[in-house]
């Protein structure tokens, strides 16, 4: 039995998308970012820092989304270079890079969306994190120029960018990133991505673009 502890629009989308790509049966246990339930003893028994996702798998519960991607692809022996394979180092590197980028996206989500009242937001922090996000996007733009996928074929490394892809161009304009924008559109066109999206729930975002404040 596979059960995904999930919040819409969160890093658990990475796992949702991979489960769909692998064609594994699973159930979704929805949680909320805003109702306090991630801080309850019940949820913290699943994920001690009160973060999603967590996955119940084969009688165990595991947290940390990129570890879950590794575990599922090793269990299924698909959609990732296995230990010892030529692309393994690149696979691990891009999984970790996706998390570096996700941490910046999360900081911007907090600033632009979750912090209340709006005066609690920090224009300096938004500017800093937006510039840091752009740096990660430049790295992806260079890597994806002339490539279809993160590795030489579709893999869980692409799923690792699932949470990020919906966010990037809401914070940084797409003009300078044609390869990254085309990659995002290719990933969105995958049937498993579309199926995962129907399981996901409402988007966090109410705007197409969040402007960087001037002061």
Interface residues toward ligand GSH, by CB under 6 A: 10-11, 33, 38, 50-53, 64-66, 99, 106
- List, as one string, the DSSP characters of 60-126: EEEE-HHHHHHHHHHHHT-SSPPTTSTTHHHHHHHHHHHHHHHHHHHHHHIIIII-SSGGGS-HHHH
CB 193 within 8 A of CB 187: yes
For residue 28, the surrounding DSSP H or E stretch is strand 27-30
Order across the sheet with 27-30: list the strands: 27-30, 2-6, 54-57, 60-63
Residue 164 Cβ vs ligand GSH, minimum distance, rounded to whole Å: 10
CB of 200 to ligand GSH, least distance (A): 12
Question: CA-CA distance, 137 to 168, in Å (whole number)?
Answer: 8
Say how many C-beta atoms besides its own lie within 10 A of residue 136's C-beta.
Answer: 20
**Is 51 or 170 the residue whose CB approaches ligand GSH more closely?**
51
**Min. distance of Cβ 179 from ligand GSH in angstroms?**
25
Least distance in angstroms from the C-beta of 54 to ligand GSH:
8
Q: Minimal distance in Å, beta carbon 133 to ligand GSH?
A: 15
């Amino acid at each position: 039995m596979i059960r995904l502890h999930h919040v819409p629009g969160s890093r658990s989308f990475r796992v949702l998308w991979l489960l769909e790509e692998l064609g594994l049966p699973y159930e979704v246990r929805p949680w909320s970012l805003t109702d306090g339930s991630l801080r309850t003893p019940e949820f913290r028994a699943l994920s001690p820092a009160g973060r999603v996702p967590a996955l119940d798998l084969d009688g165990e519960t595991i947290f940390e989304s990129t570890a879950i991607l590794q575990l599922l692809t090793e269990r299924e022996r698909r959609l990732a270079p296995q230990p010892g394979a030529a692309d393994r180092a690149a696979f691990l590197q891009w999984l970790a890079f996706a998390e570096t980028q996700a941490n910046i996206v999360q900081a911007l989500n907090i600033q632009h969306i979750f912090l209340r009242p709006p005066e609690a937001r920090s224009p300096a922090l938004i500017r800093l994190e937006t510039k840091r996000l752009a740096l990660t996007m430049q790295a992806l733009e260079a890597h994806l120029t002339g490539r279809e996928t993160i590795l030489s074929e579709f893999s869980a490394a692409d799923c690792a960018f699932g949470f990020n892809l919906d966010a990037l161009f809401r914070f940084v304009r797409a003009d300078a990133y044609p390869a990254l924008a085309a990659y995002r559109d290719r990933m969105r066109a995958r049937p498993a991505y579309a199926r995962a999206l129907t399981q996901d729930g409402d988007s966090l975002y109410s705007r197409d673009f969040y402007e960087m404040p001037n002061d």
